[in-house]
Amino acid sequence: MHDGDTLWNKLLDQIDRQGWGWQIVGPDRGDDEHEPFPHYCYTVGLVGNGLPDIIVVGLDVRTAMAAGDEIITRAMANAIVGQAVPTVSGFKPFDLNQELLDVFKGTRAMLVDVPPAEAAKRSLFAHDYAAATDKAPDLIQLVWPDRNGRLPFEDGADPRIIAAQPVLKYIAPADPNPTDSPVM
């Protein structure tokens, strides 16, 4: 248990209990330097387990954290198996840029890398934790679909989902001749 009732100490307590914590960030209306950005949550402390932290943008926080916790629990279980049975390509706890069918019931999702500049801007506590533990910060984004199962960077995705969930890394659309670029 950490002394004090600061946000940082609460995160450290979560990390001590579970192996990671969740930081919730409200929407940003934007200013001279930043565009408006929806609410989001991200993990803090996964880097201590050799995993990247996860950010989920625009989704109901409880749903985001429940889905993230499930993915993390699986990755940590796979990490133990992966350490026991090394492969030529090395251990990869998360399948990035691949369709995931078991994150949200009845639909799909995807995990994508987050560029370092965006990661630093959107996950301050995760970066501070990584620095405090002498680890390199790393962040991935859990991307969720619209009601029709389209991810925000796919043709025909609902514009409201695109606005609610900016993808922090450009993902090429499935159509090689897109008419519009995804919103970043």
- Which residues are registered as beta bridge partners of 42? 23, 55
Q: pLDDT tens digit string along 37-89?
A: 899 999 999 998 889 999 999 999 999 999 999 999 988 887 654 444 344 34
pLDDT computed for residue 146 by the predictor? 93
List, in order, residues 6 or more apart from 121 with CB less than 8 Å away: none
CA distances (Å), 46 to each of 55, 105, 146, in order? 12, 25, 28
Residue 17: DSSP 8-state = H
Q: Is the pTM of this model over 0.85?
A: no
pLDDT computed for residue 79 by the predictor? 62
